[in-house]
Amino acid sequence: MEKVVVIGGKGKVGTYLVPLLCRAGYRVTNVSRGNREAYIPDPCWQEVEQVALNRETPDFPAQIAALRPDVVVDMICFRSEDMLRLMDALEGQVRHYLVTGSVWMHGPSVEVPYGEDMARNPMDTYGTQKHLMDLALQRCYATKGFPGTA
């Protein structure tokens, strides 16, 4: 059974994602700063390992790698340098690293649907960082084969 580490799994999206992963047969570890309850209660949370870590600590990437995940779903990464440090710690260990992107990295839509291959014009610092993260993931896959997706 594969182990999935979800960073920030008790947020709005993670509240739905974590139980889905449990029901699909994964061993799930949720990493959060504190012990806040999930937005929506679910019996599956009883099966989830809870680990309290703070992304702002320098050894956060090593702490995540020490959990020995097969897959990492990173719901709360907002800076490309943080993502790259974590990817360095996970290289050669994970089958996949999935970091949450954002429509903000595309900027205002001039046509709908807006394809991922269309020109990007990020709207603000948040969108710019998500765009840089996506570019870094593409570069790491192209140069090292790192299994990452935004």
Tens-binned pLDDT, residue by residue, of the chain (150 aa): 899 999 999 988 999 999 999 999 999 999 998 878 888 889 999 999 999 999 999 999 999 999 999 999 999 999 999 999 999 999 999 999 999 988 888 888 777 787 778 788 888 999 999 999 999 999 999 999 999 998
CA–chain centroid gap for 6, Å, is 7
The reported pLDDT for the residue numbered 85 is 97
Q: What angle do CA 32, 12, 10 make, to 5 degrees?
A: 25
Prediction pTM value: 0.92
Q: What is d(CA 99, CA 130) in angstroms, rounded to the nearest whole number?
A: 9
Alpha-carbon radius of gyration of the chain? 16
Q: What is d(CA 34, CA 27) in angstroms, rounded to the nearest whole number?
A: 20
Q: What is d(CA 53, CA 82) in angstroms, rounded to the nearest whole number?
A: 14
> Cβ atoms within 10 A of the Cβ of 139, count?
12
The reported pLDDT for the residue numbered 134 is 93
The reported pLDDT for the residue numbered 107 is 81
The reported pLDDT for the residue numbered 38 is 86
Q: What is d(CA 142, CA 21) in angstroms, rounded to the nearest whole number?
A: 28
